[in-house]
Amino acid sequence: MIPLTLRDTQILIAGAVFVLGFLCILLGAFVLISRGYSKEIQALAAHTARLGQKGLAEEVSGLVNSASTLVAALNELVRSANGVGLFLMTIGLMMLGASYWIVSVISWPA
């Protein structure tokens, strides 16, 4: 068994929280960069816009309503992906702050 003092345990906890916070920040940045503006969403938005224009030209109101609903759903999808990314980054920053607080509270020997 490895003998750990209270200070050693606090340092291990602070290190683990720091690593988890850093990983949350990286994951949040990845979500913000990749999920919100993927090629599939851009292609779907472009096709929906063309579909809406075609519906307006041919005066098909059901097609225009469906296209506008799809565009609204795409906007909501991008917003929710951005929200998840920002939430992960906020949690990561809070974890980094908590690890700093844990290390700053440790009483170092004089």
Enumerate the domain spans of the chain: 7-102
pTM higher than 0.75, yes or no? no
pLDDT tens, 44-53? 667 666 766 6
Residue 73 predicted with pLDDT over 60 = yes
pLDDT of residue 25: 95
Please give the residue that has the higher pLDDT: either 27 or 63.
27
Supply the pLDDT for residue 95: 96
Sequential DSSP letters for 42-83:
HHHHHHHHHHHHHHHHTT-HHHHHHHHHHHHHHHHHHHHHHH
pLDDT tier for residue 98 given thresholds of 50, 70 and 90: very high
